[in-house]
Structure 1
């Protein structure tokens, strides 16, 4: 019989983790890439000589949607979030992903339970709806029902492992509220496309309506990116948060 790792206490969370693992991304990357088309190779001193001109060039590229200069950067994020968030995430095929595998390791029992601030009730028609808080009774039901479901599913998972069932088969009973982790790598243009769809902002030229849990991830990624490329981020916001 296959040896099983010791049972771990089930944990419940309502947040997500996002870390910037490594990056080669700055506003200078955009400027170099843009200027090579008219001036050939540029030096760092040329870029820094006139900051306002550099700011204006980035804004022009963003406004007129000259997108390729924003592709000459790379950022790798570590993300820990519920599996259902990753299923939405992977629709963005301009990212590269590597996710932890339930075939090769025993999955840790950490599960997502919506916090008290999570709006629960959807009102209105598809494409024109909004969410409201929900009643205390609804929040109580969600909290109790999800926790009990998680306990039952993880208990069944362990029973199968203890019986010698392969991890890749035993994992089928686990819900999408289970936390997973992955590395996600992208360039600035791909990230802007992601943010334009996964962060709801009233001042966006094309408002989007993301699920709150993936929006939580996107907000943290945007904060980290803004620190790396402040001029590009400012131009993105000034031009309606439209990916160039």
Structure 2
């Protein structure tokens, strides 16, 4: 990960601030505030602001004024109850703002989560950096034969090197042409408007944005993007973000990891099948009322927890 001198100076200045506040803070997140945590080859995630903590969730649920004589165990129990029963509004009382540097193709997948406020670096006004995401060979894989949106067998060493060479050369060539289109005619260029020249950049070019979201919607984002079936390049961002959430709202994050991240969901039809299996009855897919895919997924989950 390469931070510019300007970014490094900005982070140093922000980190050195000692600001007085009467509002509740999160000591764990205060220690991480403004730090840039590396992701992929040139990307990063850093928290630049937040509002609320575990007590804000409890306060909203109880509509109370302060901590009083409550115990942490009582707060933990209430937060777990809220998470367990999908009482989501109190989690919306907490918000967090991230500064993220990420490849454009990851950003286009990420932006589908329409529950955040986003402001992205604009190539209409600024010139993009010569930085591209080049994957590690271990993540270069063929198209899966069973999953239309996933990866299958990893490429051989020779195949990986050939693909990496294509990615590097194409990105560099496109950026060279991008620069040429931007340069003035007297500099052997065309003076093309930045908003037009940017169309030549490859999707592995890096962009940056500020991304602000409330805790309820962040948990939904993390549940989807930390899943093992999520694309690797967005999953590694979600994993770093989860670490910041653990520091920010440890009680809420514990509940999330128990009831969402580490949990499974069965349909009512699946529960009928499981009930019969527990009673020693023999059930097969044909008379279960489940499709072949549903049956396979259910049995995979049950077999996993048998071992």
Give TM-score scaled by structure 2 length: 0.67
Deviation at 1:116, TM superposition (A): 2.7
Q: Mapping of 1:220-239 within 5 angstroms? A: 220-239=240-259
Of 57, 60, 63, the residue aligned with 1:33 is 60
Cα deviation digits, residues 85-131 of structure 1 (max 9, x gap): 11011111111100000000111110010013314223222369553
In structure 2, how many angstroms separate the alpha carbons of the residues matched to 1:105 and 1:44? 48
Which stretches of structure 1, 4 residues or longer, exceed 6 Å deviation after superposition? none
Of 100, 104, 113, the residue aligned with 1:79 is 100
In structure 2, how many angstroms separate the alpha carbons of the residues matched to 1:227 and 1:144? 40
| Equivalent residue number for residue 193 of structure 1 | 220
| Equivalent residue number for residue 164 of structure 1 | 191
Q: 1:176 to 1:128 in 2, by over 3 A?
A: closer
CA contact (8 A) 2:150 2:231 kept: no
Q: Rg: which structure is higher? A: 2
Deviation at 1:21, TM superposition (A): 0.7
In structure 1, how many angstroms separate the alpha carbons of the residues matched to 2:150 and 2:192? 44
In structure 2, how many angstroms separate the alpha carbons of the residues matched to 1:161 and 1:128? 36
Give TM-score scaled by structure 1 length: 0.84
Of 42, 46, 52, the residue aligned with 2:65 is 42
Q: What secondary structure sits across from 1:132 in the alignment?
A: strand
Of 196, 208, 211, the residue aligned with 1:181 is 208
| Equivalent residue number for residue 115 of structure 1 | 136
Structure 1 segments unaligned to the other structure (5+ residues): 1-12, 202-208
Deviation at 1:27, TM superposition (A): 0.6
Of 260, 272, 278, the residue aligned with 1:240 is 260
Deviation at 1:18, TM superposition (A): 0.2
Q: What secondary structure sits across from 2:102 in the alignment?
A: strand
CA contact (8 A) 2:225 2:238 kept: yes
Q: What secondary structure sits across from 1:42 in the alignment?
A: coil
Q: How many corresponding residue pairs?
A: 217
Deviation at 1:210, TM superposition (A): 1.3
Q: 1:51 to 1:109 in 2, by over 3 A?
A: same
Query: What RMSD in Å do the two structures reach over aligned CA positions?
Result: 1.7
Q: 1:15 to 1:133 in 2, by over 3 A?
A: farther
Structure 2 segments unaligned to the other structure (5+ residues): 1-39, 184-189, 264-307
| Equivalent residue number for residue 112 of structure 2 | 91
Q: 1:25 to 1:119 in 2, by over 3 A?
A: farther
Please state which structure has a larger fraction of its residues in helix.
2
